Structure 1
Amino acid sequence: MTTLQRFSALIAGVTISLVAAAGAQELPASEGSAPADDGLITIESDSQSADNVTGVVTAIGNVRIVYPTRGMVATSRQAQYFSREGRLVLSGDVDVVEGDGNSIRAERLTYDLNDERAFAMPSQGGQVRSTMIIRPNNSARTPLTP
């Protein structure tokens, strides 16, 4: 097996873990309903590495994460996915935008996929900025709520 084949298999294994941890479910699509969440997440960056021993995937440089079924796009300088903990850490000029208008900007954002909780930290002397669309008859949604 070549190095490229091993790396591809490693990324594929971690991607499957990422999809599973993101709560992907196969639900039958009914007419007029939103498409089922297939859990597909695309990560683009200048470089990526995966460690099968630790279960950590790291993307560095011009990171762009797209989660189409959730209408979410995130950008940062670095992203690390800790598959064993179900945790995604974005760092460096983090910007997360959802299709419904919710957004968050921070220097570092940690998202726990299991608990569906986000914790954002500003750069030194800065602030975190969140924008939320509040609609009176809908259930409460926060930035990054799946």
Structure 2
Amino acid sequence: MRLRSRPRPPLAQTNVTNEPPDRALTIRSDIQEANSKTGVVTARGNVQVNYPARQIQATSAQAQYYSRERRIVMTGNVYVLQEGNSLRGEVVTYLIDEGRFVALPNISQQVESIYLVRDGSETKEPVLAPQLELPPVNAPTLEPPPILSPTAPPPRILPPAALPIVPNRSAFPTR
């Protein structure tokens, strides 16, 4: 008996501009929804964003393109690559008109950026890294804090002045 697998439906794809293909912002995903009243396109599942005009490629679990505000909000294990520089975070917003990224990490994690830094002896133009705006350290998180047991004491947070000073125990003593 021969089993025939059903072909997988093609990925949904949206070109969000009427520009030539090299200037178009293309979003590919398993599922997409567009709301003509709000101007929001939502892509879910294996999302791939490609913007050749700015040499941007990105992947995420979900992306929302806000056409009126000209921004893209990508969520869920976001990875952005631009001219060899990379950015990882849980939520990354790309402001199209400003060419700027705003990245937020998962709770108790950090955003990771890797930038190509050219040696001073190289004669090529420097690679422009994505502009990254980090929220203040004490900014509210997107997810609520974990619920603590009513009998558990609240966590103790020390102000910086109350932290103990640890002497330098380096393997390389300073003189």
Please report the TM-score for the alignment, with normalisation by the length of structure 1: 0.68
Which of residues 44, 51, 54 is equivalent to 1:60? Answer: 44
Which of residues 71, 74, 81 is equivalent to 1:90? Answer: 74
Which of residues 52, 55, 60 is equivalent to 1:76? Answer: 60
Instruction: Give me the whole-angstrom Cα distance separating, in 2, the residues matched to 1:85 and 1:68.
Output: 20
1:108 aligns with 91
Flag the 1:50–1:144 CA change in 2: closer, same or farther, 3 A: farther
* Displacement after TM superposition at 1:38 (Å): 3.5
Deviation by residue 1:3-29 (Cα, 9 ceiling, x = unmatched) = xxxxxxxx67xx22xx6xxxx6x8xxx
* Displacement after TM superposition at 1:114 (Å): 1.4
Instruction: Give me the whole-angstrom Cα distance separating, in 2, the residues matched to 1:140 and 1:72.
Output: 13
Flag the 1:123–1:79 CA change in 2: closer, same or farther, 3 A: same
C-alpha RMSD of matched pairs (Å):
2.5
Instruction: Give me the whole-angstrom Cα distance separating, in 2, the residues matched to 1:93 and 1:126.
Output: 12
Amino acid paired to 1:61: G
Moved more, 109-118 or 119-128: 109-118
Matches within 5 A, 1:1-146: 15-16=16-17, 38-98=22-82, 100-135=83-118, 136=120, 138-139=125-126, 141-143=128-130
1:30 aligns with none
Instruction: Give me the whole-angstrom Cα distance separating, in 2, the residues matched to 1:92 and 1:74.
Output: 12
Instruction: Give me the whole-angstrom Cα distance separating, in 2, the residues matched to 1:105 and 1:74.
Output: 10
Instruction: Give me the whole-angstrom Cα distance separating, in 2, the residues matched to 1:130 and 1:80.
Output: 22
Flag the 1:73–1:144 CA change in 2: closer, same or farther, 3 A: farther
- Structure with the larger RCO, 1 or 2 (CA within 8 Å, 6+ apart): 1
Structure showing greater radius of gyration is: 2
Contact 1:107 1:120 survives alignment (8 Å): yes
Richer in helix (by share)? 1
Instruction: Give me the whole-angstrom Cα distance separating, in 2, the residues matched to 1:144 and 1:76.
Output: 19
Gaps of at least 5 residues in structure 1 are 1-10, 27-36
Please report the TM-score for the alignment, with normalisation by the length of structure 2: 0.58
Amino acid paired to 2:105: P
